[in-house]
Chain A
Amino acid sequence: MEKILRVEKIEKYYGNKSSLTKAIHSISFEVEKGEFVAIMGASGSGKTTLLNVISTIDRVTSGHIYVGNIDITKLRGNDLNKFRREELGFIFQDFNLLDTLTAYENIALSLSIQNVKEKEIARRIKEVAHHLDIQDVLDKYPYQMSGGQKQRVASARAIITRPKLVLADEPTGALDSRAARLLLERFNALNQDLDTTILMVTHDAFTASYASRVLFIKDGEVFNEIHKGESSRKEFFDQIIEVVTLLGGDLNDTL
């Protein structure tokens, strides 16, 4: 299998010498093409920092991150923007849709800044809208949509550029359970039908149970890792809960 993401012994420190905070303390893992990986951890475990350095929003203190064959820790300036634009797709907890644009325009924007032709944009949006079941809301403005619809539009925007890797930061965080389930089912469909590689950060066991693999992070290190394998989602959920119980602490609160 092709390796989409390779994280090698990365470390991330905040602050100066007098007061040093270790957000990430040596993390290494790999994600293969077509995988749907969830990263779980309590607040302060370093999971958001991990996502930030992978998404090039933040820089690592040491170590390397490879997306495809590119070492993204070495990228600077416009190369970084180009990389972010072409190889990554983002889904945020608070959707981050532009409120002045319609759903269609929001999705189109990520293509138009890559100078994709208008006809191609229209074709691709039609295709993606079908996959995410948002055909009906394309002409609506964000304030006219429900949270679930907004997040699916945001997802469409993330995958329309056909990125190597889709990064999702607590995608269900602002959704009720029904909308969350709908969204995650769509993620699964994208993952299976389009072979989209997804890396998702969450602290919610239910959300994580939709992934094919879950990484647990504690105190800036990988604490555990479980594969879904052939087990059902329900069984996988129970497995996750076991680990969470083991982990203890804050994560318990989310159950």
Chain B
Amino acid sequence: MTLFKLSIQNIKKSFKDYAIYFFTLILGVAIFYVFNALDSQTVMMNVSSNTKEIIKLMTNILAGVSVFVSFILGFLIIYASSFLIKRRKKEFGIYLTLGMSKRKIAGILFLETVCIGILSLGIGLILGIFLSQFMSVLVANMFEADLTKFTFVFSSTACIKTMLYFGIMYVLVMIFNTINISKCKLIDLLHANKKTEKMKLKNPMLCMFLFFLSSFILGYAYYKVTGGLEQMQEVTEIFVPILLGVLSTFFLFWSLAGLLLKMAKKKKKTYYKGLNSFILKQVSSKINTTVFSMTVICLMLFITICVLSSALSIKNSMTSHLKTFSPIDVEITKPLDLTEKRVNDSWQYKEEMIEDSKISIRESLHKMDFDVDTYFTDIVSFHTYQIDSILLKDTIGTYYEEAKEKYPYLRYESKEEFIKVSDYNQVARLLGLEEISLKENEYVIVANYDGWIPIRNEGLKKGTPVTLLNRTYYPKNTECIDGFIEISNNAINMGLFVVPDDAVNETIRAKEYLLGNYKKQTEEGKKKIEALFLNIEKHPYAKEASIEVTTKIYLYEASVGLGAMVTFIGLYLGIIFLMSSAAILALKELSESSDNKERYSMLRKIGADEKLIEKALFRQIAIFFLFPLLLAMIHSIFGILFCNSILETFGNEKLLESILMTAFFLILLYGGYFILTYLCSKNIIREK
């Protein structure tokens, strides 16, 4: 009982130190609950089965991410608690001199952890349940479901999961604490507080050299991931600039610690003004000892900013493309004239499928009791053509060798696809694209995928001839024409050859297309037709017909779902990373504040105003929070550029919007921790 009392009193007494720790735990629990309870938020919603599938997938991925997150949180909690133990070494030393055994001290710590654990779990869960109600609104918004009536949702599985995961973390903390204490020597415990800081001055020349060197290397890494990205041959090469970036970040902090002071000292007027000399020395003495954690925090912030802004921008652009790239309701395709020969491609066609590939889409659908003309309007149907002798490597001509060097991952053996110019123009009218006119020996390439257009253009510029059925055609233009024939949610047409009508004949037909709109104007009506149409899946003949269907509604739901999924995962990871780095900084800063208590009281004794001291403290903490953030922001500029070029297919519209959203989260969480740290520090250095 006395042990218990002692623990409770300790917690109460050192609440100032514990406040940030406690706050972090509560926040961690709450976030963990909110993201694990996401699926129960969607249960009540009226969404299509398609969206339900995506939500299920999202829940599974989030569960996986949660394991990762629990590792991060576990490390954070263990780090934080070992930090607090360090701060209380003197107290433990006194207990030991009073004859308390180490086991008993471990017992006190055990009880403290239990108390804090139960409290933080309780409050965190309540906060989480509360927050997840707001999350419902966000979820509904993301999946564009209407949230007609508000229902209070409580997920017992998420609740139990949270308790289990955090329970394990707390047990680990207890084990670590016990090990920590049992390793301590009494003499160290008692003298823990008596340490005189030694000001180690770094060689300014070395600092200067390292500063410029690391800036240069950083610049090179920046170039590598943006401008020099095209030169990259293999995926693994990306690790080089990453490693360089990490190393140069570390050395940049290391050298800046020395340089900053040196430079400030040169400006005597500012240096000897108010408490400036004191602040600068505080900062530089600490940077010396915290270069490593500064680096870690900077990199974590960097990842947070990139993850958040990229995730949000993906979601934004996912749906915005749909209007452009899917102007019609439905697209049906079907391979034609399948033969035995293609068995070599490790794909076994069944007899019935080969049989079906000889008839048109219309006929196949008819066999499934679906009449195209009853439900569809604006129907355009046409064929595309392929021959074995015209492959990608042939159509880019002499550029092939160079391209193989530059883009080794492309499939140069894939067959090119051809379309009659009259068919294409029909499609173009339907899709609202530009029509094309050709002379008898000309061809053009229609493409809109940014990654492929330059490759195609090289071939076109060289005037690469294409020989089709004994006649040779030459490019009309030196560049690809913007266009597509397949609906999708993005610009992914890698290239389609438009040739004069008499260039191809039915012996080399490869694929049939049927494009059209539903014969209803309203959203509701379209959905009804779609449901009816997709019902053909259940028809016995469906197994034999290799029909592929893409619909606008499906594309829309898929991109909304995918966008939402990416956003939630991004938010989850981003918030956890942000919280962790801010918490580490805050804890470091707070422990420094208690170490610096004496220094501040000295300042007070020589007559520094309370205001002046508070200003000094504020600046000191602000510099510490801003320093890694600033570098992380510079990193992020290039990081986001890199993400954008990688995720080019997703488009990068509304980037500004997502960056603003990221800034909002950053200010809310990081800024919140900063203010909290300042207030707690002020409390610590205040004279009683």
Closest to A114 in B: B607
Q: Does A109 lie within 8 Å of B606, measured CB to CB?
A: yes
**Shortest beta-carbon distance from B398 to chain A in Å:** 69
B residues in contact with A81, CB < 8 Å: 607-610
Which residues of chain A are near B40, meaning CB under 8 Å? none
B602 within 8 A of A: yes
Residues of the A chain whose Cβ atoms lie less than 8 Å from the Cβ of B269: 117-118
Which B residues touch A82, using CB under 8 A?
A: 607, 609
Say whether B606 contacts A110, CB under 8 Å: yes
With CB as the reference atom, state the residue of chain A lying closest to B604.
A81
Q: With A and B bound together, what is the CA distance between A86 and B606 in angstroms? A: 9
- In the complex, the answer to whether B282 meets A113 with C-beta atoms within 8 Å is no
State the interface size on chain B (CB cutoff 8 A).
28
**A254 interfacial by beta-carbon distance below 8 Å:** no
Residue of B nearest to A163 (CB): B607
CB of A214 within 8 Å of the partner chain: no
Given contacts A81-B609, A81-B610, A118-B268, contact A112 B276 (CB under 8 A): yes
1/0 per position for B607-620, CB-CB distance to A under 8 A? 11111100000000
- A121 beta carbon closer than 8 Å to chain B: yes
Which residue on B lies nearest to A161, using beta carbons? Answer: B607
Interchain CB contact under 8 A, A113 and B274: yes
CA distance A117 to B270 in the complex (A): 10
Q: Is the CB of A101 within 8 A of B607?
A: no
Q: How far is the CA of A141 from the CA of B261 in the complex (A)?
A: 15
Q: Which residue of B lies closest to A92 (CB)?
A: B605
Q: What residues on A are CB-neighbors of B268 within 8 Å?
A: 118, 122
Closest chain B residue to A108, Cβ basis: B272
Q: Which residue of A lies closest to B598 (CB)?
A: A96
Residue of A nearest to B282 (CB): A100
Residue-by-residue, is A140-158 near B (CB-CB < 8 Å gives 1, otherwise 0)? 0111000000000000010
Interface string of A92-129 (1 = CB under 8 A from B): 10001111110001001111111101100110000000
Is A86 in contact with B273, judged by CB distance below 8 angstroms? no
| Minimum C-beta distance from A85 to chain B (A) | 3
Taking CB atoms and an 8 Å cut-off, the chain B residues in 590-607 that contact chain A are: 599, 602-603, 605-607
Q: How far is the CB of A94 from chain B (nearest CB, A)?
A: 10
Is B602's CB under 8 angstroms from A96's CB? yes
How many Å from the CB of B235 to the closest CB on chain A?
48
B277/A109 in contact, CB under 8 A: yes
B386 at the interface (CB under 8 A from A): no
Q: How far is the CA of A86 from the CA of B608 in the complex (A)?
A: 10
Docked-complex contact B196 and A143, CB < 8 angstroms:
yes
Decide if B278 is an interface residue (CB 8 Å cutoff): yes
Task: Say whether B13 faces chain A, with CB atoms less than 8 Å apart.
Answer: no
Q: Is the CB of A98 within 8 A of B602?
A: yes
Selected contact of A99 from candidates B197, B274, B603, B607, CB within 8 Å: B197
Q: Do B605 and A112 touch across chains, with their CB atoms under 8 A apart?
A: no
Within 8 A of A (CB), among B193-244: 196-199
- Which residues of B have CB within 8 Å of A84? 605, 607
Would you call A101 and B278 a contact (CB within 8 A)? yes
Residues of B within 8 A of A18 (CB): none
Q: Give min CB distance, A167 to chain B, whole Å.
A: 10
> Does B275 touch A at the CB level, under 8 Å?
yes
Of A85, A100, A114, which contacts B285 at CB under 8 A?
A: A100
Residues of chain B touching chain A, judged by Cβ–Cβ distance below 8 Å, are 196-199, 268-269, 271-278, 281-282, 285, 599, 602-603, 605-612
**30 A-B pairs with C-beta separation under 8 A:** A78-B609, A78-B610, A78-B611, A81-B608, A84-B605, A88-B607, A90-B605, A99-B196, A99-B197, A100-B197, A100-B278, A100-B282, A100-B285, A100-B599, A101-B278, A108-B272, A109-B277, A109-B603, A109-B606, A110-B607, A111-B272, A112-B276, A113-B274, A113-B603, A115-B274, A118-B269, A118-B271, A121-B272, A141-B199, A143-B199
9 further contact pairs, Cβ within 8 A, besides A85-B606, A98-B278: A81-B610, A88-B607, A96-B602, A98-B281, A100-B278, A101-B281, A111-B272, A117-B269, A157-B606
Closest 6 CB pairs of A and B: A85-B607, A100-B281, A84-B607, A118-B272, A112-B272, A110-B606
